[in-house]
């Protein structure tokens, strides 16, 4: 019976993997293109305050690559978060916040799409859309990831994975809190390193999503194709 079900279903871990990998690859590809085309100087953006993520996709070929990758990534992200709520339900992972995960993901990915569309355009309106988009995407994505980690931590089988994901979320939170403290305490210093914080936070969020994709694979999370 299990073999029959497996043969009539498709694995979903690859979808989670692609949804997590596209944003991560895109910002590095556009960074490389921007360097090659001379729009930014070569550096290590994770500790050099040389460029923001936004700047890598504002000019030249990178402009089209960034939009062409991030808009599909936003759509995939909406599906990813919706499936996460079903995955936790199938696992029997406890947690009252599960019902909020797809909604948080929907708003976060819509904010990412709005930010992407506004990128490369001048004016206060576009600048406001970009700022709001970044804040909503990072903060709501983090909350959704925290809800997943907490639900897995209380699961009898997946609690170790939940603890590790919570540890990763704590690191992300620590980086975010440190950026806020530096902004208030030493704004001049923070203005010299704020771009690096942005790159690190993006990396940590995408690592969490890649980890979840691995857990989808380990738990054999699949979709069945039915016809009547």
Number of domains in the chain: 1
Residue 5 clears pLDDT 50, i.e. is over it: no
CA–CA dist 55, 39 (Å, integer): 9
Q: Encoding tokens for residue 137?
A: 């995407």
Stretch among 2-16, 76-90, 182-196 having the lowest mean pLDDT: 2-16
Contacts of 62 (CB under 8 A, 6+ apart): 29, 30, 31, 33, 34, 37, 39, 56
Burial of 18 (0-12, 13-18, 19+ CB in 10 A): middle
Query: Torsion over CA of 153, 156, 158 and 161, rounded to 10 degrees?
Result: 40
Q: In this predicted model, what pLDDT tens digit does every residue of 110-162 receive, in sequence order?
A: 999 999 999 888 888 888 999 999 999 999 999 999 999 999 988 888 889 99
CA–CA dist 62, 70 (Å, integer): 12
CA–CA dist 133, 145 (Å, integer): 18
CA–CA dist 214, 228 (Å, integer): 33
Q: Which domain holds residue 169?
A: 2-224
pLDDT of residue 1: 44
pLDDT of residue 225: 66
Give the residue among 21, 17, 57, 12 at the shortest CA–CA distance from 37.
57
Q: In this predicted model, what pLDDT tens digit does every residue of 156-190 receive, in sequence order?
A: 888 899 999 999 999 999 998 998 898 888 877 77
Mean pLDDT over 15-40 rounds to 94
Residue 216 clears pLDDT 90, i.e. is over it: yes
**Residue 15, CA atoms < 13 Å, CB-side half-sphere:** 19
């Amino acid at each position: 019976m299990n073999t029959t079900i497996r043969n009539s279903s498709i694995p979903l871990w690859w979808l989670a993997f692609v949804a997590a990998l596209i944003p991560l690859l895109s910002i590095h590809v556009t960074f490389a293109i921007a360097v090659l085309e001379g729009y930014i100087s070569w550096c290590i953006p994770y500790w050099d305050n040389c460029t923001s993520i936004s700047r890598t996709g504002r000019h030249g070929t990178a402009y089209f690559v960034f939009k062409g990758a991030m808009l599909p990534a936003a759509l995939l992200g909406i599906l990813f978060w919706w499936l996460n709520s079903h995955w936790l339900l199938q696992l029997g992972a406890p947690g009252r916040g599960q019902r909020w995960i797809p909604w948080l993901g929907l708003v976060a990915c819509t904010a990412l799409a709005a930010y992407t569309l506004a990128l490369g355009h001048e004016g206060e309106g576009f600048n406001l859309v970009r700022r709001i988009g970044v804040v909503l995407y990072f903060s709501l994505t983090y909350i959704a990831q925290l809800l997943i980690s907490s639900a897995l931590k209380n699961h009898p089988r997946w609690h170790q994975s939940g603890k590790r994901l919570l540890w990763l979320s704590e690191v992300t939170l620590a980086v975010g809190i440190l950026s806020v403290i530096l902004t208030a305490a030493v704004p001049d210093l923070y203005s010299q390193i704020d771009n690096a914080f942005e790159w690190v936070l993006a990396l940590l969020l995408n690592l969490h999503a890649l980890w979840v994709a691995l857990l989808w694979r380990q738990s054999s999370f699949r979709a069945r194709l039915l016809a009547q």
